Structure 1
Amino acid sequence: MLEITEFLPYQLVHLANKVSDDFANVYKEQANLTTPQWRVIAHLASDNLSAKQLCDLARIDKSTMSRAIKQLEERRILTLQPDEDDRRSKVLTLTESGLNIYKRISKLANEWEKNLLSSLSHEEQILFREVLRKLNLRI
């Protein structure tokens, strides 16, 4: 019989939710951001993207993404420009304020991650990341 708390999907989701909730305290305290808003900022820090691309990358549904984008635009954290290749689409770009928020939070994110992983030895951290990579490739 299946013991749900020992089932890998349950354990991964449970851990992912705990990790996400704990890290959320960082960007909520620093910039009053929701999880979808933070994910938008984090992805846009690397590249200008469309809302559809963001939905796919951040694995956020269209309505939640739309709300996050609207709120970030109202706060002047990002701008929307017409996509030269597809006039029906908009390209999202972080403003200087958005980039500053990202830089501030990303430094804290690195500290937060280092603290979280400090309970693992260096070798365990390498192994953990390798296991995650292999499972991601498998699915």
Structure 2
Amino acid sequence: MEGFLRRFLRLYRPLITSLNELLSPFELSYSLWQVIYYVKNNGPSTLVDISTHFEVEKPTITRRVYRLEELQIVKQIPGRDRREKIIQLTEIGEEIYRICREKITDLENNLMEGIPKEKQVILFQLLPQIRENILNKEGLNDE
């Protein structure tokens, strides 16, 4: 379908901008939110776990985690090995997650306003299929 990428990218940029604006009162960006979200939904996690999930280099996640530590949103806990950094949310992090999750849910609901539920379900199912097609074409595996 010609024009899909252009349409997707025209959606992606304003969406990330909206998320960054929503998160900015907490000194967060979408990239920092991704780490918070991952740890909240997967429990204490290593930097390798997070970097593998988001398909980014470990130093990128290390910088994000360092910033979240400065904000007292995450903390390191002892791992099996001194070299292994495991992070978990702090009490402040749990509260910020709760507040931001509510705001993001409101944003998601606003984005879907006027779109019939059936079409929302179809879109929700199609996006992972498109991602899978991209990964299969590149010869990559999803996690």
In the superposition, the TM-score normalised over structure 1's length comes to 0.83
Change (3 A) 1:129 1:49: same
Distance in 1 of aligned mates of 2:54 and 2:13:
15
Cα 1:9–1:62 shift into 2, 3 Å: farther
How many residues end up aligned between the 2 structures? 132
The reply to whether residue 56 of structure 1 matches residue 52 of structure 2 is yes
**Structure 1: distance between partners of 2:48 and 2:17:** 25
Q: How is 1:90-129 mapped onto 2 (pairs within 5 angstroms)?
A: 90-129=85-124
Conserved in 2, the CA contact under 8 Å of 1:40 and 1:58? Answer: no
Q: Contact (CA 8 Å) 1:36, 1:65: kept in 2 or not?
A: no
Q: Which runs of structure 2 are paired with 1:15-26 in the superposition (5 Å)?
A: 15-26=11-22
The reply to whether residue 13 of structure 1 matches residue 6 of structure 2 is no
Gaps of 5+ in 1: none
1:39 and 2:59 aligned = no
Q: What are the Cα deviations for residues 71-107 of structure 1, in whole angstroms up to 9, with x where unaligned? A: 11122211112322x4421110000000000001101
Comparing 98-107 with 121-130, greater Cα deviation is found at 121-130
Give me the whole-angstrom Cα distance separating, in 2, the residues matched to 1:125 and 1:98.
30
Name the aligned partner's letter for residue 21 of structure 2. Answer: N
Shift of 1:57: 2.0
Work out the CA distance in 1 between the residues paired with 2:76 and 2:101.
23
